[in-house]
Amino acid sequence: MAGDPDLGWVEAEATAGGLTGVRFVDGPSRAGGAADESGGRDAAAAHLALFDEELRAYLRGARDPFTVPAQLSGTAFQQEVWGALRLIPHGEVVTYGELAASLGRPAAVRAVGAAVGRNPLLVALPCHRVVGARRQLTGYAAGVDRKRALLDLEAAAASVPPLIAEPDGSGLLTLSPAELEAVVEALVSRGVRFDEVGPEAAGCAGPEVAVLRFPAGHDLAKIGAALVDATGAKR
């Protein structure tokens, strides 16, 4: 499955009912499924293909939740906690205490933490968005460095203002002329593809606006990281 220099590669497994496991590995990995007489192999392969597509989009900075079905084995309490993980918005974090409170179990912080730690679908169920009481990064099954990389990726994507969508899938970013030089330098440094276009492309009438066009499939995370590089802070 898809990989990332800061994260490594992802290994996923599925049955006809949906994903059963997602984990990080250190090299290109297999994607497994279980077959049965009713054509389960084809269904499992379809789930894995959808997850791979959504994972690649996520690594490019997509903010949409994963929609691939899951078939999870766990206690009723674990299932409840794992369901709550789906509701944590992209680019945000909650503490274990806040998660427990959201489930109506404010005294069950340790039990909630244990269930989070047994999350079988890393990334797809975003347990990396759960942090310690003082917002510090705590244990993560794939390592705290990966947890930090996932949160940094989401923060970078969140720093990109809404792009103007073009029919061909490209996106337009408007800047002030004063911002242009630093942003262009940062984008080039990070290897981000773009073109400079006239302000009329974004429906602007005058030269007081600079416009960059990013091709279809653009990487919001890299664009956001470049904007942070250029401005020194999140936009």
151 and 56 in a common domain = yes
Percentage of residues of the chain with pLDDT beyond 90: 74
Three-class secondary structure assignment of 61-101: CCCCCCCCCECCCCCHHHHHHHHHHCCCCCCCCEEHHHHHH
Coil, helix or strand for 229? helix
Let me know whether 142 and 182 are in one domain.
Answer: no
Q: In terms of DSSP H, where are the helices of the chain?
A: 40-59, 76-85, 96-102, 109-117, 144-158, 177-189, 220-231
Mean pLDDT, to the nearest integer, of 94-106? 96
Q: Which of 23, 22, 28 minimizes the C-alpha distance to 3?
A: 28
197-201 mean pLDDT: 88
- Which among 103, 129, 158 is the end of a domain? 158
The pLDDT score that the predictor gives to residue 207 is 72
How far out from the chain centre does Cα 83 lie? Answer: 17
Domain at 96, CATH number: 1.10.10.10
The helix or strand, by DSSP H or E, that contains position 164, with its residue range, turns out to be: strand 164-165
| Total number of domains in the chain | 2
Q: How many CA within 13 A on the CB side of residue 151? A: 20
Residues 120, 167 share a domain: no
**Residues 16, 113 within the same domain:** yes
- What are 136-190's pLDDT values in tens digits? 998 899 999 999 999 999 999 998 999 999 999 999 999 988 999 999 999 999 9
d(CA 192, CA 2): 19
CATH number for the domain spanning 195: value is: 3.30.1370
For residue 181, the enclosing domain spans 161-231
How large a percentage of the chain has pLDDT more than 70? 91
Say whether both 113 and 167 belong to one domain.
Answer: no
Residues 118, 215 share a domain: no
Report helix, strand or coil for 160.
Answer: coil
Among the candidates 109, 140, 158, a domain finishes at 158
Of residues 98 and 234, more confidence is placed in 98
Contact 121, 22 (CB under 8 A): yes
Q: Which residues are catalytic?
A: 127
Please tell me the pTM assigned to this model. 0.84
Express each pLDDT in 5-34 by its tens digit. Answer: 678 889 999 999 999 999 998 776 555 555
158, 181, 207: which is the final residue of a domain? 158
Is residue 133 located within the same domain as residue 71? yes
